[in-house]
């Protein structure tokens, strides 16, 4: 990680390259396996998760401001704060601080990933912010260095630097990329209400009698460079289902509905409330999405599993393009 240097002001650095704006598309994640292990002394839980991206993406645009060193954030979702409570704002401030730069930025967020949904939308946006600023400000940080900065922002952030698929351990900072071979489609179903992550962890800790150790089959996954979908599907599970299903019957209903629509398996993602189903091909996924999306209050999305990763595109005078 570069050490903090003397604070410099734009245009010293930005003037040395052409692009003063970048746009970046950043995917949602699902947890194909999520085991929540022991609580740590810092209050967080150790995790063991097989995570993968899904092609449902937010879009962010960053533009260097010539007139001020202020961070200005705009978002198309009115309920999302646009000040330092927003993870993108905090990620941008952290990058500038670590780089020792004072740079004004205009940031625009177009949200497509549902909020507080177990899909890592906020974390993905934070990771995208680090990637975009690393590029825009020519910081030269490696993926590992960016992941280290991201770990300070949230447990799901480091994963996105190892996307599309990775095994995530510890509090989320220990990430190893893995290949998942074979193609699958994912249908995400969101029931229209959020679940707060902290509350979900507290409920899980309060309702279980003991921590089930990691299975041998899951541990074996960690030593393999690639995993086949056919081997992963029978071993998919999420520790949050047991404490959350009795509170939110919609989780059980979404799973049942996806299975009746032909999903090979269906599971809660993260701490919910999104449930996803795995499908063999695009046609059956799109059919299921259309059918499930008709349920009142539910929103459904279909996308390929594990293809999307962070991609940054420079803009010079080009108009803002939609992903
Ligand atoms: O990392 P993030 O900010 O998303 O976590 C939100 C909350 O979820 C934490 O404050 C903590 O209470 C809980 N959590 C946990 N163990 C983790 C991740 C999150 O207990 N590994």
Task: Quickly state the pLDDT bin for 318 (edges 50, 70, 90).
Answer: very low
Residue range(s) of every CATH 3.30.230.10 domain in the chain:
3-12+19-178+310-314
Check residue 167 and give its pLDDT: 97
Write down the catalytic residue from 42, 74, 111, 156. Answer: 156
Q: Which atom of ligand 1 is least distant from the CA of 39?
A: 20
Under 8 Å between Cβ of 229 and 270:
no
CA of 197 to the centre of ligand 1 (A): 7
CATH class of 180-304: alpha beta
pTM: 0.91
Active site residue 74: no
Question: Can you tell me the distance from the alpha carbon of 95 to that of 91, in angstroms, rounded to the nearest whole number?
Answer: 6
Among 34, 41, 271, smallest CA distance to 169 is for: 34
Q: Which atom of ligand 1 is least distant from the CA of 197?
A: 8
CA 42, chain centre distance (Å) = 23
Domain 3-12+19-178+310-314 belongs to what architecture?
2-Layer Sandwich (3.30)
The answer to whether residue 163 scores a pLDDT higher than 70 is yes
Question: Can you tell me the distance from the alpha carbon of 251 to that of 255, in angstroms, rounded to the nearest whole number?
Answer: 6
Task: Quickly state the pLDDT bin for 10 (edges 50, 70, 90).
Answer: very low
Instruction: Return mean pLDDT, the chain.
Output: 91
Question: Can you tell me the distance from the alpha carbon of 45 to that of 49, in angstroms, rounded to the nearest whole number?
Answer: 12
Residue 174's DSSP bridge partners are: 169
Task: Quickly state the pLDDT bin for 134 (edges 50, 70, 90).
Answer: very high
Question: Can you tell me the distance from the alpha carbon of 33 to that of 51, in angstroms, rounded to the nearest whole number?
Answer: 7
CA of 22 to the centre of ligand 1 (A): 30
Residue range(s) of every CATH 3.30.70.890 domain in the chain:
180-304
Under 8 Å between Cβ of 251 and 241:
yes
Nearest CA to ligand 1 atom 2: 154
Task: Quickly state the pLDDT bin for 320 (edges 50, 70, 90).
Answer: very low
Angle at 268 between CA 197 and CA 220, to 5 degrees: 100
164: which 2 tokens? 């599309």
Nearest CA to ligand 1 atom 3: 154
Taking only the tens place, the pLDDT of each residue in 190-234 is 999 999 999 999 999 999 999 999 999 999 999 998 999 999 999
Check residue 307 and give its pLDDT: 77
CA of 198 to the centre of ligand 1 (A): 6
What mean pLDDT do residues 263-290 have? 98
Mutational pocket test of ligand 1: of 45, 157, 197, the residue with most ligand atoms within 8 Å of the beta carbon: 197
Taking only the tens place, the pLDDT of each residue in 266-279 is 999 999 999 999 99
By three-state DSSP, how is residue 261 classified?
coil
Check residue 19 and give its pLDDT: 72
What mean pLDDT do residues 280-308 have? 95
Question: Can you tell me the distance from the alpha carbon of 171 to that of 304, in angstroms, rounded to the nearest whole number?
Answer: 27
The answer to whether residue 322 scores a pLDDT higher than 90 is no
Protein residues whose CB sits closer than 6 Å to any atom of ligand 1: 44-45, 47, 154-155, 171-172, 197-198, 201
Under 8 Å between Cβ of 232 and 32:
yes
Under 8 Å between Cβ of 121 and 115:
yes
Check residue 308 and give its pLDDT: 67
Q: Which atom of ligand 1 is least distant from the CA of 46?
A: 21
Taking only the tens place, the pLDDT of each residue in 21-79 is 999 999 999 999 999 999 999 999 999 999 999 999 999 999 999 899 999 999 999 99
Nearest CA to ligand 1 atom 12: 198
Nearest CA to ligand 1 atom 13: 198
Under 8 Å between Cβ of 23 and 321:
yes
Active site residue 156: yes
Taking only the tens place, the pLDDT of each residue in 93-124 is 999 999 999 999 999 999 999 999 999 999 99
Nearest CA to ligand 1 atom 8: 198
Question: Can you tell me the distance from the alpha carbon of 132 to that of 24, in angstroms, rounded to the nearest whole number?
Answer: 7
């Amino acid at each position: 990680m570069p050490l903090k240097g003397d604070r410099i002001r734009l245009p010293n650095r930005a003037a040395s390259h052409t692009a003063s704006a970048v746009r970046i598309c950043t995917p949602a994640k699902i947890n194909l396996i999520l085991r929540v292990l022991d609580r740590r002394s810092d209050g967080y839980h150790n995790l063991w998760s097989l995570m993968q991206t899904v092609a449902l993406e937010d879009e962010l645009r960053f533009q260097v401001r010539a007139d001020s060193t202020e961070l200005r954030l705009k978002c198309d979702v009115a309920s999302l704060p646009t000040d330092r409570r927003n993870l993108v704002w905090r990620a941008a401030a952290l990058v500038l601080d670590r780089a020792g730069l004072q740079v004004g930025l205009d940031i625009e967020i177009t949200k497509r990933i549902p909020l507080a949904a177990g899909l890592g939308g906020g974390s993905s946006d934070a990771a995208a912010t680090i990637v975009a600023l690393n590029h825009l400000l020519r910081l030269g940080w490696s993926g590992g260095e960016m992941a280290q900065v991201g770990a300070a922002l949230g447990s799901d952030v480091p994963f996105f630097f190892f996307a599309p698929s990775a095994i995530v351990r510890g509090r989320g900072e220990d990430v190893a990329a893995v290949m998942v071979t074979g193609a699958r489609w994912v249908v995400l179903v969101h029931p229209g209400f959020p679940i707060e992550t902290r509350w979900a962890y507290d409920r899980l800790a309060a309702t279980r009698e003991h921590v089930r150790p990691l299975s041998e089959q899951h541990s074996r996954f960690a030593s393999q460079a690639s995993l086949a979908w056919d081997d992963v599907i029978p071993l998919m599970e999420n520790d949050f289902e047991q404490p959350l299903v009795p509170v939110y019957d919609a989780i059980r209903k979404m799973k049942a509905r996806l299975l009746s629509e032909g999903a090979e398996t269906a599971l809660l993602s993260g701490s919910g409330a999104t449930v996803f189903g795995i499908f063999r091909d695009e046609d059956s996924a799109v059919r299921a999405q259309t059918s499930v999306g008709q349920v009142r209050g539910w929103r459904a999305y279909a996308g390929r599993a594990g293809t999307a990763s962070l991609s940054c595109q420079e803009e010079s005078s080009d108009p803002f393009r939609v992903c």
